A and B are shown apart, each in its own frame.
Chain A
Amino acid sequence: GNSVTQMEGPVTLSEEAFLTINCTYTATGYPSLFWYVQYPGEGLQLLLKATKADDKGSNKGFEATYRKETTSFHLEKGSVQVSDSAVYFCALKKSTGFQKLVFGTGTRLLVSP
């Protein structure tokens, strides 16, 4: 079946450090890939998406590239801020039909001043 594997957290960084959160997936066909962010007490916000191989999604300084050869969609940011502290979820959606999102287990990011 379809699944998403994320690196375990928490990831603890100092402000302005480089961020990588690893995400790999297993799926049949060509799924669409997403990163969502969840701040404490809030819902999930779409951060970025990519719908086909080699697409790069980017938003608010975050980016991720759809790598079909390595079935990966790693999230990166060049310089994190304290306000980036949140839980990040990688998710996939099959390419056909009204498909549900399949989420990874989430990675908590803690950024200190």
Chain B
Amino acid sequence: AAGVIQSPRHLIKEKRETATLKCYPIPRHDTVYWYQQGPGQDPQFLISFYEKMQSDKGSIPDRFSAQQFSDYHSELNMSSLELGDSALYFCASSFGGGADQPQHFGDGTRLSIL
């Protein structure tokens, strides 16, 4: 079965640079979530979209922005990168946001800031 696709899998940037992470949800899934997982930590929610509109916002820095496009893929744009942004970034998708709809995760993008 098709899964959530994230690209790139690994990304190395320097401080103050910008980065764009991409997420392609499971076909027919209309809701996308972004999470950040620091080393040895649990995933922390950043932001979510339903039908191209922002549906919820978590602890996403102002330096980050995201959007969902008409084909339902999503991009997380990160600017003025800091050392503390080094983490694993996960995208998850679901069909609607209902409580009984589980979120399916991609394999993540590992972002390293030098």
A-to-B contact residues, CB < 8 Å: 31-32, 34, 36, 42-46, 49, 51, 89, 93-106
Contacts and interface: CB of A to CB of B under 8 A. Distances in A.
Given A31-B99, A43-B90, A43-B105, A105 B42 contact: yes
Given A32-B100, A99-B56, A44 B105 contact: yes
Interface size class of B (residues with CB under 8 A): 20 to 34
Please report whether the interface of chain A is mostly helix, strand, loop or mixed according to DSSP: loop
Interface of B: 4, 31, 33, 35, 41-43, 45, 48, 50, 55-56, 58, 90, 92, 96-97, 99-100, 102-108
A43 B36 CA distance: 12
Most buried by B among A49, A94, A96, A101: A101
Contacts of A104: 42
B6 to A, nearest CB: 8
A60 B54 CA distance: 35
Contacts of A100: 33, 45, 48, 56, 58
